Structure 1
Amino acid sequence: MADKLEVEQRWPELFTKLSVIQRNAVWQSLASAWHEGWLPNREDVENLTDRAQGAIDSAEYRRRAHAAARRRVVVTSR
């Protein structure tokens, strides 16, 4: 695991439309997952920031998350 969670530095464009409250909520979610061993990737961060700013609803967020999980299972099971 990396020493620092630097997703905003890696993908600053994903955070530009977030309010302070939205940014804090996103950071809390990302930090929690990171401390559990999750490695940040752009797709997951983009989905979370899209949801936080209201660009997508909960159903679309779940659809994207499930699609990403299915792709990762196929890739890792080969």
Structure 2
Amino acid sequence: MFSAEGQRFDIEERWPELFAQLDASQRRSVLNTLAADWHEGWEPNREDVENITDLVRGAIDQDEFLRRSDAAAERRRKGA
């Protein structure tokens, strides 16, 4: 899959270990979500992908996902 700018959507190839514990349905759901965000201009990073795959496979709950997401956004806002 390629963006309008010719960039390749290769998240699963970058971090295969994050997808290894997902079943086929979970994997497809995560990739569809990430691809939609990517097409809207989001730049993939390992931390965000890990948080989403952790949520989908049940390793964390929604509250922990939001806590992690908020903390990551705050770090990025501060330039850390």
- TM-score w.r.t. structure 2 length? 0.90
Q: Distance in 2 between matches of 1:21 and 1:5?
A: 19
Which consecutive segments of 4 or more residues in structure 1 shift more than 2 A? none
Taking only the aligned residue pairs, the percentage that are identical comes to 53
Identify the structure with bigger relative contact order (alpha carbons < 8 Å, sequence gap 6+). 1
Structure 1 residue 3, shift from structure 2 partner: 1.5
* Letter of the structure 1 residue corresponding to residue 72 of structure 2: A
Q: Which residue of 1 aligns with 2:7?
A: 3
Runs of 5+ unmatched residues, structure 1 = none
* Residues 23-63 of structure 1 deviation map (CA, whole Å, 9 limit, x = unaligned): 01101110011001001000000000000100000000000
Other structure's SS at 1:30 match: helix
| 30, 49, 53: which one aligns with 1:45 | 49
Counterpart Cα distance in 2 of 1:13 and 1:68 = 21
- Equivalent position amino acid for 1:22 in 2: Q
Q: TM-score, normalization: structure 1?
A: 0.92
Backbone CA RMSD of aligned residues:
1.4
Structure 2: runs of 5 or more not aligned:
none
Given the alignment of the two structures, is residue 75 of structure 1 paired with residue 79 of structure 2, yes or no? yes
Count the aligned residue pairs: 76
